[in-house]
């Protein structure tokens, strides 16, 4: 028997390359190809958003035990890469809202369902116009409980999203709704809707996007993982694709905050 270093030198390969080849051979080729095919399938379903860590968690959710290292190797072999989210620019002014104080104070971990909802609005490119999307998220498991679409970003849009959330979840006593200081949320129409359902309003400080971090994170996930870079050709396709994403996000997408359970699975576990 000759030392590994000498053999590698004779055959013109690096020792690290040899050991990497040995680790790959520890998984039978046929099994490895099946795993690789599953990795390709999951990566496509996620619209190329999964990295090695999340790929490993998705495989585990399907009773396929694969570590992060092997998941990364399989992705490299299949020439797969994860989309990366760009940093969110913001200005910090820290001014309290006149309409409502910041009751949440970045406490984004309510103890139960229907204690804290948060909302926000983002814009999607449809043809050559901007199409606006408002969402309502229950912070307990980060589940999207209400949404609405409109070509006009106004109080009617956010009130419509709130109405859907109320129809789906009801309004238990002491529920807090948190948002930024946008004119939609500070409007009389929206305040009247909150008052009608006995919901207490809370607002971020001006310029402090981290005061509403869960919705900022959600929109970052939506745009980096799902929305096409060129936007949508029609409003109908935008609505259909957004609804598909909400269904996937609530029912299938694993969330690190939920210990890699989907929002619905997290709520079911807590029930």
Query: From edge to edge, which strands make up the β-sheet containing 176-179?
Result: 143-150, 129-138, 116-126, 176-179, 200-203
Return the sign of the alpha-carbon dihedral for residues 150, 153, 154, 160: positive
Residue 9 has which token pair?
Answer: 């030198």
DSSP state, 144? E
Residue 111 has which token pair?
Answer: 């103890």
Residue 110 has which token pair?
Answer: 């309510």
| 96: CB partners within 8 A, 6+ apart | 102, 205, 206
Q: Which helix (H) or strand (E) holds 78?
A: none
Q: What is the pLDDT along the chain (271 residues), one digit of tens a residue?
A: 677 777 777 777 787 776 776 765 555 577 778 788 887 887 777 777 777 787 778 888 778 888 878 888 887 877 777 776 555 555 555 555 568 999 999 999 999 999 999 999 999 999 999 999 999 999 999 999 999 999 999 999 999 999 999 999 988 889 999 999 999 999 999 999 999 999 999 999 887 888 999 999 999 999 988 999 899 999 999 999 999 999 999 999 999 899 999 999 999 999 8
């Amino acid at each position: 028997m000759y030392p590994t270093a000498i053999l590698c030198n004779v055959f013109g390969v690096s020792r690290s390359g040899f050991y990497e080849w040995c680790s790959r051979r520890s998984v039978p080729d046929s099994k490895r190809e099946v795993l690789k095919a599953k990795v390709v399938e999951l990566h496509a379903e996620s619209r190329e958003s999964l990295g090695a860590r999340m790929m490993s968690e998705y495989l585990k959710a399907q009773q396929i035990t694969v570590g992060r290292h092997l998941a990364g190797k399989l992705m490299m072999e299949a020439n797969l890469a994860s989309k990366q989210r760009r940093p969110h620019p913001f200005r910090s002014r820290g001014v309290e809202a006149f309409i409502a104080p910041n009751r949440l104070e970045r406490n984004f971990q309510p103890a139960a369902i229907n204690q804290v909802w948060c909302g926000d609005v983002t814009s999607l490119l449809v043809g050559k116009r901007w199409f606006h999307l408002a969402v309502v998220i229950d912070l307990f498991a980060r589940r999207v409980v209400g949404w609405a679409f409109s070509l006009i970003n106004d109080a009617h849009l956010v009130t419509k999203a709130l109405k859907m959330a109320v129809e789906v979840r009801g309004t238990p006593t002491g529920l807090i709704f948190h948002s930024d200081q946008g004119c939609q949320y500070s409007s009389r129409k929206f305040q009247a809707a909150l008052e009608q359902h006995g919901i207490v309003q809370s607002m971020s400080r001006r310029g402090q996007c981290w005061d509403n971090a869960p919705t900022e994170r959600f929109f970052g996930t939506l745009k980096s993982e799902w929305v096409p870079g060129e936007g949508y050709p029609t409003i109908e396709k935008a609505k259909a694709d957004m609804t598909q994403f909400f269904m996937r996000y609530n029912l299938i997408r694993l969330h690190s905050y939920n210990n890699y359970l989907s929002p619905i699975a997290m709520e079911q576990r807590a029930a």
